[in-house]
């Protein structure tokens, strides 16, 4: 079977030849000096300092390209689905991107790679919260706080539902002119709650639920009024949702990562819709395929965050009212 991965040396390959690459392979381009635009390539790597969007700087671009190739060989279905969703999504409205992402995510949930990863993963006991999201209204300002600090605000179904309820307040009330999104405890959000991974036995129904109850879609609707305050781990859903905000402020200890491809999946909380708007589909593909930790300095240079602030600023939480949900 033909490899799902190809490296293109852009210093030697004319740009027009990259436009006809197979649509069922991950195409990584490598160049000593970045050009303005390269069509038909999913990830762009260079050793040049401070390259422009959408290029990614790395010490050894060819070695990094081969590392990405190893990821694609281990997780071909997820890797190819990722770049296909990103390519197609670039021409769609955000609402349609979310549907496309969810369809691909549900397809991969039924795949061998995810089931193999799930079978090998340690079993975790759900640690639910009576109030997974806290809500406070102060005049025209609404503060929303993820509040499961003992699991670093891991995103479970109850948190998703409570966050949707809180965001619906902002969407429905135009008198709210500022929405601040926080995470209580040592991290903003450590991603999807692994205690719930694989508990849905019906990927088709999960797709319908994911589209119907979408915090990402609600964040997009009120994005100009939203500031996300990041600190600590911002993994998976933790950065996918935050990237919808009109403004993202991060503490110096913020670390960003997209781990889903390693599980045989793609980002499923809206990351293929939100992150490309900020950094481009090529850098999004790099983050998701590599699974690397992106520090706050690089995130600022890329535009994934808008400001680096002190930890006190991003974790300040006044006494708050609660949006109550219990885990299913």
pLDDT digits (tens, 9 = 90+) for 160-196: 999 999 999 999 999 999 999 999 999 999 999 988 8
Place of tokens 């992402």: 101
The per-residue pLDDT for 312 is: 58
| 187 vs 233: CA distance, rounded Å | 5
| 102 vs 265: CA distance, rounded Å | 11
The per-residue pLDDT for 15 is: 56
Residue with the larger pLDDT of the pair 40 and 325: 40
**Angle (CA) 57 63 66, round 5°:** 110
pTM score: 0.92
The per-residue pLDDT for 21 is: 56
Delimiting residues of CATH 3.90.226.10 domain(s) in the chain: 94-261+294-323
| 102 vs 124: CA distance, rounded Å | 25
Contacts of 263 (CB under 8 A, 6+ apart): 78, 113, 114, 117, 118, 197
User: What topology is assigned to 94-261+294-323 in CATH?
Assistant: 2-enoyl-CoA Hydratase; Chain A, domain 1 (3.90.226)
Q: Kindly state the average pLDDT of the residues 147-164.
A: 96
**pLDDT category, 315, cuts 50, 70, 90?**
low
């Amino acid at each position: 079977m033909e490899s799902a991965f190809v490296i293109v040396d852009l210093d030697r390959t004319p740009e027009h030849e990259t436009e006809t690459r197979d649509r069922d392979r991950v195409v990584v381009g490598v160049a000593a000096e970045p050009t303005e635009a390269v069509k038909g390539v999913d990830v762009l790597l260079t050793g040049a300092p401070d390259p422009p969007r959408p290029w990614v700087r790395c010490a050894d671009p060819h070695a990094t390209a081969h590392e990405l190739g190893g990821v694609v060989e281990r997780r071909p279905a997820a890797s190819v689905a990722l770049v296909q969703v990103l390519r197609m999504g670039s021409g769609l409205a955000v609402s349609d991107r979310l549907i496309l992402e969810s369809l691909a995510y549900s397809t991969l949930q039924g795949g061998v790679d995810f089931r193999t990863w799930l079978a090998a993963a340690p079993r975790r006991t759900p640690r639910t919260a009576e109030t997974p999201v806290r809500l406070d209204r102060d005049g025209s300002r609404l503060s929303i706080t993820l509040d499961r600090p003992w699991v670093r605000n891991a995103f479970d179904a109850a948190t998703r539902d409570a966050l949707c309820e809180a965001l619906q307040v902002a969407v429905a009330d135009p008198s709210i002119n500022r929405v601040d999104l926080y995470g209580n405890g040592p991290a903003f959000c450590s991603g999807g709650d692994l205690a719930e991974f694989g508990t849905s036995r019906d990927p088709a129904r999960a797709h319908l639920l994911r589209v119907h109850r979408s915090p990402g879609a609600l964040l997009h609707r009120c994005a100009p009024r939203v500031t996300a305050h990041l600190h600590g781990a911002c993994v998976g859903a933790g950065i996918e949702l935050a990237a919808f905000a009109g403004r993202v402020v991060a503490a110096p200890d913020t670390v960003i990562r997209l781990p889903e491809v390693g599980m045989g999946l793609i980002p499923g909380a809206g990351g293929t819709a939100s992150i490309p708007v900020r950094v481009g589909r090529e850098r999004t593909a790099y983050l998701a395929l590599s699974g690397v930790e992106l520090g706050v300095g690089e995130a600022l240079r890329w535009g994934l965050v808008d400001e680096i602030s002190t930890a006190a600023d991003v974790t300040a939480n006044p006494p708050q009212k609660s949006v109550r949900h219990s885990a299913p």
